[in-house]
Amino acid sequence: MEIFRAFFRITLLPWVRLLYRLRVLHADRVPTRGGALLVSNHVGYLDSFILYAACPRPVRFVIVSRYMKFGAIRWFLDLFGAIPITPGKSRDAIRITADSLKRGEVVCIFPEGQLTRTGVMSPLKKGFELIARQSGAPVVPVYMQGLWGSIFSGERGTYIRKWPHRLPWPVVVAFGEPSDAESADKSWAQQSLRRASVEAFDAMPQLQSSVAASVVRSLKRHRRATCFAEHGKSVRRLRRHQVLSTAIALAHRWKSGESPLGDESRIGLLLPGGIAPALFNLGLILSGRVPVNLPFPSEPAGTLDAAGIADAIRAANLKIVITSRAFAGALGNADFDDVTLLDLGGEMNGAGLLTLFSERIRAFLEPSWWTIRRLGLSRQLSPEPVWACVSEGKLKVYGDREILAESLRLTSGNWIESGETWFCEQGLSTFSEALWSLWLPALHQQGVAGRSWAVRAEPSLIETVCEIESAKRVVVSPKILDTLAESEDTWHPELRQSIRSVLVPVTVGDDLTLLDRRSDRVESVTGGRVCPYLVSDHGIVAISQPNPDPVPLPPDYQSQPGHRIGSPGKLLPGLSGEGWEVDEAGFVDFS
């Protein structure tokens, strides 16, 4: 038997490392001798192989007994000493596991008792407490970060039948501080796993590069996919390669000796959300400057507060602001302290058609590493600000790490999917808004569609945009949510079938009962479940999702709710939850 085990270790572990780019943190926290009980989160069918490869000692696993019904699988699991456990009839499995620990073996149990369908941890069962008490073995928390979205996770609604997004898939396994058997209870395990998740998340390779280099790499993947779409008198779409080439052309203009920006490192942008503001933000970053997004009303009916904008410009100490002539005229005679206003159209034309054409070709032919080198972009994280906004009269700056981490959190669960498009008209005046309208499309593989600024007063266009662009989610402000709730017309039945959620921001102190009362009406209009998400100055803290449970729920499945009345949603991955009330299911409560 030992020969077979050695053979499969030698032959299978290289395949695991081929599928997953594995990084292990604090493996020394696993005791070098004697029994040890590992408690881990559970994301996909290959979790056992990943932990086996990560742990410095051989591991036995406690496996749900239904997997032992299949002959070949049962033989393989028996070969590695798997311990079957039947939900509701776990006494024998607990005894066998405790005996194994007493003999000095390492055993791993998944205390959630099931694979996650939400992308985050489910409530933990108490079985591991009984095992620890009976065996007296130390308990070691271990968290696997990055598995959601891999081929054997529940992303896209299936655990197997899908193609991988990329190979190898980056995964970080972090071992937490061990606890003695008597102190290891559910509360300790939940907190320890969250702390381990923070360590694992911070070590993800996606967070080890600069924003500028990450934008180039991202936009060169799936070059022909639509990144931004804007519907007005006509429809304007930009594919990913067009976004990159236009941003680089703007960067060339602003890096040249004749640049109208001079030596200024911070450049103000007085623009609404949309395609052009996104391009100008990216172009400024690629030119080595920091875009500072100034407050702007969310719809044409709003008015520009000239005095407030002047205060924001002074708060950011700006000398140059890029805006549109139409908006500049609306500012009146406000005192801007010798601030130079540059016209958006003039800057776009100044990029030059020849440069733009050349960059379009290079976007297809040039490898990412050469583009990064040609533009003189640093690959390393910088402590300096990369992006900024003025909110509530204060300048708020964000660096590489914050932007990359907050956008990665939003792709680490079942609230959005890679490659999907959503309707969004969030501006760039706050970081949480920019995550949806700029950073997720630029850094990941999503697309954003919306109405152009001039026609945002027409609510019927929301349905049209969602239908034409095949949007699966709608990200709206509370005001637009009210408009949807007051609509007398329901959307087309086929569109209502495809809309999965209507995402709306909430902050601490908001009355969620009002949101819950509007949910049913909005869902009857759009077909999508109203899902709040909790925002702060640092980004998004928690998010809701439609319940991912299969219908009907099989007898051996346990429900995994994606939303809860009175909560803005589940804590995002990589956050410890300190400073928030978080229940055992991961829901944040600020009532």
* CATH classification at residue 186: 3.40.1130.10
User: Tokens at residue 42, please?
Assistant: 């559970």
Same domain, yes or no: 351 and 392:
yes
Residue 276 lies in a domain: yes
Contact 270, 336 (CB under 8 A): no
Residue 407 lies in a domain: no
Contact 192, 180 (CB under 8 A): no
CA atoms within 13 A on the CB side of 175: 22
Same domain, yes or no: 153 and 264:
no
Q: Please report, for the domain that includes residue 336, its CATH number.
A: 3.40.50.980
Contact 247, 355 (CB under 8 A): no
Residue 416 lies in a domain: no
Residue keyed to tokens 């079938």: 497
Residue 292 lies in a domain: yes
Q: Look at residues 172, 203, 234 and tell me which one is the last residue of a structural domain.
A: 203
**pLDDT of amino acid 1:** 53
- CA distance to 302, 305, 458, 505, per residue, from 480 (Å): 14, 21, 11, 11
Same domain, yes or no: 189 and 212:
no
User: Tokens at residue 222, please?
Assistant: 């799936």
Residue 471 lies in a domain: no
Residue in 277, 582, 302 with CA at minimum distance from that of residue 456: 302
Amino acid at position 217, single letter: R
Same domain, yes or no: 434 and 526:
no
Same domain, yes or no: 319 and 186:
no
Give how far the C-alpha of residue 542 lies from the chain's centroid of Cα atoms, to the nearest Å.
Answer: 11
Amino acid at position 501, single letter: S
Same domain, yes or no: 182 and 212:
no
Same domain, yes or no: 209 and 250:
yes
- CA distance to 17, 348, 400, 435, 507, per residue, from 411 (Å): 23, 32, 17, 11, 21
SS3 assignment for 191-246: HHHHHHHHHHHHCCHHHCCCHHHHHHHHHCCCCCCEEEEEECCCEEEEEHHHHHHH
Q: Look at residues 203, 234, 254 and tell me which one is the last residue of a structural domain.
A: 203
Per residue of the chain (591 residues), give pLDDT as tens. 566 566 666 777 777 778 889 999 999 999 999 999 999 999 988 888 899 889 999 999 998 777 666 555 666 667 777 888 877 677 888 899 999 999 999 999 999 988 899 999 999 998 999 999 999 999 999 999 999 988 878 777 777 767 777 888 899 999 999 999 999 999 999 999 999 999 999 999 999 999 999 999 999 999 999 999 999 989 999 999 999 999 999 999 999 878 899 999 999 999 988 999 999 999 999 999 999 999 988 776 667 778 888 889 999 999 999 999 888 776 766 666 688 899 999 999 999 999 999 999 999 999 999 999 999 999 999 999 999 999 888 999 999 999 999 999 999 999 998 889 999 988 899 999 999 999 999 999 899 999 998 898 889 999 999 999 999 999 999 999 999 999 989 999 999 999 999 999 999 888 888 888 889 999 999 999 999 999 998 899 999 999 988 878 887 788 899 999 889 999 999 999 888 999 999 999 876
User: Tokens at residue 227, please?
Assistant: 């990144």
Same domain, yes or no: 538 and 509:
yes
Residues 6+ apart with CB under 8 A from 374: 366
Residue in 266, 268, 215, 269 with CA at minimum distance from that of residue 243: 215
- Strands 473-475 and 501-506, by their bridges, are parallel
- CA distance to 27, 40, 280, 418, 457, per residue, from 56 (Å): 7, 16, 49, 34, 61
Contact 244, 217 (CB under 8 A): no
Same domain, yes or no: 198 and 211:
no
Residue 176 lies in a domain: yes
Residue ranges making up the domain that contains 389: 204-401+421-462
Instruction: State the Cα–Cα distance between residues 584 and 53, nearest whole angstrom.
Output: 29
Crossing angle (nearest 10°) for helices 211-219 and 275-286 = 120
Q: Hey, CA dihedral for 112, 113, 117, 119, is it positive or negative?
A: positive
Contact 591, 580 (CB under 8 A): no
Residue in 103, 79, 83, 105 with CA at minimum distance from that of residue 2: 79
Tell me the three state secondary structure of residue 582: strand
**pLDDT of amino acid 517:** 83
Same domain, yes or no: 383 and 249:
yes
Q: DSSP character for 436? A: I
**pLDDT of amino acid 21:** 92
User: Tokens at residue 586, please?
Assistant: 């991961």
Instruction: State the Cα–Cα distance between residues 250 and 255, nearest whole angstrom.
Output: 9
**φ, ψ for residue 464 (rounded to 5)?**
-60, -45
Same domain, yes or no: 225 and 178:
no
**pLDDT of amino acid 75:** 67
The total of structural domains in the chain comes to 3
User: Tokens at residue 371, please?
Assistant: 């583009």
Residue 346 lies in a domain: yes
**pLDDT of amino acid 591:** 63
Residue 409 lies in a domain: no
**pLDDT of amino acid 82:** 83
Q: Which residues pair with 450 in a beta bridge?
A: 230
**φ, ψ for residue 298 (rounded to 5)?**
-80, -10
Bond before 552 cis per omega within 30 degrees: yes
Same domain, yes or no: 103 and 124:
yes
Crossing angle (nearest 10°) for helices 211-219 and 400-410 = 40
Q: Look at residues 412, 434, 462 and tell me which one is the last residue of a structural domain.
A: 462
